[in-house]
Structure 1
């Protein structure tokens, strides 16, 4: 696996160019262009603020921020995985004509999604200050959570991008899976609302510790549970090793299958 990582590093310029291409073409032709990276989360926040402050009043202080700090990381995860599912097929001309490490494709999707997430955090930080929730020293732990989420997102992206080449329906099934997955992740409800007898099942979900950690740091202004986060990272590493090996096995026939 070390050799594979070295090979990816040798193709870092290709990775960089694919990430730039994705970021440039995402809003190509639109009036605001790259500014949509900031406008999208800002508009989402405005909608949540209006709805949960006037119409659907939920007994959680500043619920719109409680929701927002968990929703943006979830969007990064779900969008990256779903887009990765079709990335090999979408780049079939590249796959058929030139040699390069095929894992560059899902890697570029996840990395461009990460860039968008980081820009989204600018809106979150500003919103935390305006809403008077504030920013605490616990923010220093945020990079750790981002890294763990990146690993988990990349793990699932490797897996679905390879499997979708052979099972094209997977790309469509993922939409339903992600919708169900969303409701089994504590994004719109606090972890304390889950009955104790079901709590262990929610923590089988690798995204549960991630979202809980984001909310601990950004909404509650406290340190995350490092044991929970450490277990999550370990699980993420195990999943990415498994997914990467599956990807390497299946990639041998990508050119023939697409």
Structure 2
């Protein structure tokens, strides 16, 4: 934390660079942060709403509340994974706290998430979904996901330095996680014998928390918050420990 504070100017510049790089030479620029999840939601909603119209009321909002959180996690961890390798030239020239790079990628994905929120607001307005007071606290699960991504991002970044196949393996893992997260289907339709797979998926707890506040308009229980906090502590502990054990040897492999 001390090094992050000391190098905060560099961290801010790295976040700015990532955002500029993503939208370079794009006509609509940052508007795509809102349009991408919005158009994806429209396509999936048209395909699946007829199947779940009796089980899920206001399906577009249900879908988007899950999709936005999962996309945030997916983008943050995917970009953090290659952050050390992509900044190899800078790491070889000057001393920079190496954990700055995956953290910057996660933060830039957080900015993209914020830019995508108008799409959710637009869908809520179009579908005339009820807006209740708990939505005010919906930033809490977003912060939970942010810190969870810090831990996962540090772990992936350190592993990928030594094991480049992680780029391909993680793509497969993300696909599996997406299907094990109730993004476009209700959790109730999952057979009891497979529910343990849902419960083992950390993203389920973050999606449920965000969806409770935005879609259902209810305050999550203390147990739901504690589950998320426990997952965050584990991910940060593993990520920081693995990263610190290997960071001195990164320069030999990048």
Tell me the TM-score normalised to structure 1 length: 0.92
Q: Report how many residues are paired.
A: 253
Partner of 1:26: 22
Tell me the TM-score normalised to structure 2 length: 0.93
Q: What are the residue-to-residue correspondences of 1:74-93 with 2, within 5 Å?
A: 74-93=70-89
**TM superposition shift of 1:148:** 1.0
Cα deviation digits, residues 39-66 of structure 1 (max 9, x gap): 222322333344345x656432222221
Q: CA 1:188–1:66 in 2, change beyond 3 Å: closer, same or farther?
A: same
Partner of 2:156: 160
**TM superposition shift of 1:196:** 4.0
Partner of 1:104: 100
Q: Which moved more, 1:197-206 or 1:173-182?
A: 197-206
**TM superposition shift of 1:134:** 2.6
**TM superposition shift of 1:220:** 1.4
RMSD: 1.7
**TM superposition shift of 1:18:** 0.5
Q: Which moved more, 1:42-51 or 1:206-215?
A: 42-51
**TM superposition shift of 1:226:** 2.8
Q: CA 1:199–1:45 in 2, change beyond 3 Å: closer, same or farther?
A: closer
Q: Which moved more, 1:98-107 or 1:43-52?
A: 43-52
Cα distance between partner residues in 2 of 1:65 and 1:131: 8
Partner SS state of residue 113, structure 1: helix
**TM superposition shift of 1:192:** 2.2
Partner SS state of residue 181, structure 2: coil
Q: 1:7 aligns with which of 3, 22, 28?
A: 3
Cα distance between partner residues in 2 of 1:23 and 1:178: 23
Answer yes or no: is the 8 Å Cα contact 1:125–1:135 preserved in 2.
no
Structure 2: any 5+ residue segments left out of the alignment?
none
Structure 1: any 5+ residue segments left out of the alignment?
none
Answer yes or no: is the 8 Å Cα contact 1:166–1:257 preserved in 2.
yes
Q: 2:121 aligns with which of 118, 125, 134?
A: 125
